[in-house]
């Protein structure tokens, strides 16, 4: 992992290879000189750093980072030394004298098979036509060798001589006449050049084998890191889903609580209206009955009977119908609605803050598994004080006892209770500015009464 991190630090982010003639920008980032130059040439001003996007109005003059060059060279040497193939692997050996397919024909008769090739005549001969080279003293200094299959290819096109030397500087085969032109070079015989290049190719093959192994390890590391990132992202998504589920549950619970409060208040007021309606209905029935009795008394019977009935009917009280004022607890409803509005504004504010906040880039891809918690929402409790007072006010609101009192007496006592409360509240508002505390005090004094006293106002 240390070598992988060092390799990442020594890799150009443009070409994704090790630095070649690295240069450093004014913002402190390193790139290959050629890569950065091509990038800036294509894009033009303003010149930006490909990594941090820092802008420069004028093209900076960059210099070679010699220290980084040395580090890259040492890293490459260490990688070459570490790139060792397995013990059972050996580089393939080149054939010593590869035999080309087919036979060489005699250049004289073009029929028989050649047995020798003359490097002076630059021709191949069969046994019959080779005889002059063997018998005549004139051909004694001609060099003979086994038949050369590619004789025309081995000829020097300029001097028509066999190319027996190799020039490493120009990477070409030359003849002994070409040595004059390559006197500043270091030509070597073909056999020596072939042996040197064979050794170099075997070493390069060994290095490439190690590089292939390193690339395989890098591929596995990339896949492993990709899998780690995928798993970390999945864990984040699951945690995020749980957070949002909890927030939704809290919002649903707040909605249910607010809805329940308003429904309870509606039920309380509606029950009062039902009670008043039943009392008024009973009162109307009693008045209707009394009216009929009076009409009958006025139209029927003698004076004695009339006096008896009229005296009884006159004694019955016939006060006008009074409907007490019953309303919703507007403070409670307003508090619940205000709490919902506050919750909505708080949620919007938290969402805006989370969107405006710039995410910090992780220093290492492995740190991506850390979880950033979502902002916690504090759900307000609207109308809490009002609810407590409402609960206290519910204590005297008992069921109406229609069996003990008549409809007229119940209406009278309800009207007296409403008038007493309103007079006490009005008096409290005129004496002291804090009317809410005075109302609460009047209510406490009312609730401090005994049960028989409270039943008088049922």
Tokens of 99: 């035999």
DSSP string spanning 401-414? Answer: -TTTS-HHHHHHHH
**pLDDT surpasses 50 at 390:** no
Model confidence at 458, pLDDT cuts 50, 70, 90, reads low
Q: Which residue has the higher pLDDT, 169 or 88?
A: 169
- Poorest-pLDDT segment among 30-34, 176-180, 227-231: 176-180
Tokens of 147: 């038949």
Residue range 41-53: mean pLDDT, rounded:
86
Beta bridge partners of 31: 23
Q: Is residue 78 part of a domain?
A: yes
pLDDT of residue 440: 63
Beta bridge partners of 23: 31, 64
pLDDT of residue 376: 40
Model confidence at 363, pLDDT cuts 50, 70, 90, reads very low
Model confidence at 173, pLDDT cuts 50, 70, 90, reads confident
Mean pLDDT of the chain: 75
Model confidence at 256, pLDDT cuts 50, 70, 90, reads very high
Model confidence at 52, pLDDT cuts 50, 70, 90, reads confident
Give the relative orientation of helices 190-299 and 66-82 as an angle to the nearest 10 degrees: 100
Q: Is residue 199 part of a domain?
A: no
**pLDDT surpasses 80 at 374:** no
Contact 323, 276 (CB under 8 A): yes
- Poorest-pLDDT segment among 55-69, 274-288, 292-306, 388-402: 388-402
Q: Is residue 22 part of a domain?
A: yes
Q: 122's torsion region: left (phi>0), alpha (psi -120 to 50) or beta? A: left
CATH of the domain at 29: 3.30.40.10
Residues ≥6 apart with Cβ < 8 Å to 284? 321
**pLDDT surpasses 50 at 371:** no
Q: Is residue 95 part of a domain?
A: no
Q: Answer with the one of 82, 116, 140 that is the final residue of a domain.
A: 82
Q: Which residue has the higher pLDDT, 397 or 178?
A: 178
Cα gap 227→225, rounded to integer Å: 5
Cα gap 434→428, rounded to integer Å: 8
Residue range 204-209: mean pLDDT, rounded:
81
Residue 251's CB: how many other CB atoms inside 10 A? 16
Residue range 264-281: mean pLDDT, rounded:
90
Measured CA distances, 423 to 3, 155, 235, 430 (Å): 90, 133, 66, 11
List, for residues 12-33, the tens digit of each pLDDT value: 888 888 888 889 988 889 999 8
Q: 102's torsion region: left (phi>0), alpha (psi -120 to 50) or beta? A: left
SS3 per residue for 63-118: CECHHHHHHHHHHHHHHHHHCCCCCCCCCCCCCCCCCCCCCCECCCCCCCECCEEE
Residue from 219, 99, 193, 87 nearest 149 by CA: 99
Strand order through the sheet with 116-118: 123-125, 116-118, 144-145
List, for residues 298-307, the tens digit of each pLDDT value: 877 677 777 7
pLDDT of residue 429: 42
Residue range 337-353: mean pLDDT, rounded:
89
Contact 323, 281 (CB under 8 A): no
Model confidence at 76, pLDDT cuts 50, 70, 90, reads confident
Q: What Rg value do the Cα atoms of the chain yield, rounded?
A: 56
Domain that includes residue 64, residue range: 2-82
Residue range 231-247: mean pLDDT, rounded:
93
Contact 353, 377 (CB under 8 A): no
364 half-sphere exposure, CB direction, 13 A CA radius: 9
Q: Answer with the one of 63, 82, 101 that is the final residue of a domain.
A: 82
Q: Answer with the one of 49, 82, 115 that is the final residue of a domain.
A: 82
**pLDDT surpasses 90 at 234:** yes
**pLDDT surpasses 70 at 194:** yes
Model confidence at 81, pLDDT cuts 50, 70, 90, reads low
Q: Is residue 416 part of a domain?
A: yes
pLDDT of residue 352: 87
Beta bridge partners of 125: 116
Q: Which residue has the higher pLDDT, 201 or 150?
A: 201
Residue range 66-74: mean pLDDT, rounded:
87
Q: Is residue 8 part of a domain?
A: yes
Cα gap 143→163, rounded to integer Å: 14
Residue 343's CB: how many other CB atoms inside 10 A? 20
Tokens of 327: 């309303």
Q: Which residue has the higher pLDDT, 82 or 110?
A: 110
Provide long-range contacts, Cβ within 8 A and 24+ apart, for 8-16.
Answer: 10/68, 10/71, 10/72, 10/75, 13/50, 13/51, 14/39, 14/50
Q: Is residue 369 part of a domain?
A: no
Q: Is residue 56 part of a domain?
A: yes
Model confidence at 89, pLDDT cuts 50, 70, 90, reads low
CA dihedral (261, 267, 273, 275) positive or negative: negative
Cα gap 210→82, rounded to integer Å: 8
Number of domains in the chain: 2
**pLDDT surpasses 60 at 431:** no
Cα gap 380→338, rounded to integer Å: 10
Contact 119, 143 (CB under 8 A): yes
**pLDDT surpasses 50 at 448:** yes
């Amino acid at each position: 992992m240390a070598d992988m991190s060092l390799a990442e630090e020594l890799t150009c982010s443009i070409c994704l290879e090790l630095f070649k003639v690295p240069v450093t920008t004014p913002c402190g980032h390193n790139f290959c000189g050629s890569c950065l130059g091509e990038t800036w040439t294509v894009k033009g001003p303003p010149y930006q750093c490909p990594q941090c996007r820092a802008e420069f109005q004028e093209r900076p003059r960059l210099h070679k980072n010699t220290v980084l060059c040395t580090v890259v060279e040492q890293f490459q040497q260490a990688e070459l030394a570490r790139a060792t193939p397995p013990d059972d692997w050996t580089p393939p050996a080149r054939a010593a004298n590869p035999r080309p397919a087919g036979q060489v024909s005699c250049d004289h008769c073009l029929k028989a098979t050649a047995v020798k090739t003359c490097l002076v005549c630059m021709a191949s001969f069969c046994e019959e036509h080779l005889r002059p080279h063997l018998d005549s003293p004139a051909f004694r200094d001609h060099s003979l060798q086994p038949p050369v299959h590619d004789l025309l290819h081995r000829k020097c096109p300029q001097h028509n001589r066999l190319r027996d030397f190799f020039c490493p500087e120009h990477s070409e085969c030359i003849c002994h006449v070409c040595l004059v032109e390559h006197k500043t070079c270091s030509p070597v015989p073909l056999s020596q050049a072939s042996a040197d290049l064979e050794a170099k190719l075997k070493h390069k093959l060994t290095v490439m084998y190690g590089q292939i192994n390193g690339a395989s390890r890098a591929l596995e590391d990339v896949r492993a890191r990709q899998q780690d990132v995928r798993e970390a992202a999945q864990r984040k998504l699951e945690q995020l889903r749980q957070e949002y589920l909890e927030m939704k549950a809290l919002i649903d619970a707040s909605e249910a609580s607010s809805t329940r409060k308003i429904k309870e208040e509606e039920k309380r007021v509606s029950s009062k209206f039902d009670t008043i309606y039943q009392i008024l209905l009973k009162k109307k029935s009693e008045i209707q009955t009394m009216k009929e009795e009076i009409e009958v008394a006025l139209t029927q019977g003698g004076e004695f009977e009339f006096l008896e009935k009229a005296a009884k009917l006159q004694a019955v009280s016939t006060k006008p119908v009074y409907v007490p004022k019953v309303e919703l607890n507007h403070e409670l409803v307003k508090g619940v609605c205000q709490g919902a509005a506050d919750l909505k504004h708080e949620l919007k504010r938290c969402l805006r803050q989370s969107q405006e906040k710039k995410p910090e880039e992780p220093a290492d891809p492995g740190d991506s598994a850390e979880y950033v918690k979502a902002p916690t929402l504090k759900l307000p409790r609207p109308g809490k004080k009002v609810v407590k007072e409402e609960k206290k006010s519910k204590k005297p609101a008992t069921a109406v006892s229609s069996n003990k009192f008549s409809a007229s007496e119940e209406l009278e006592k309800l009207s007296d209770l409403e008038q007493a409360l309103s007079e006490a509240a009005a008096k409290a508002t005129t004496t002291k500015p804090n009317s809410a505390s005075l109302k609460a005090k009047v209510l406490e004094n009312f609730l401090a009464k005994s049960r028989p006293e409270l039943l008088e106002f049922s």
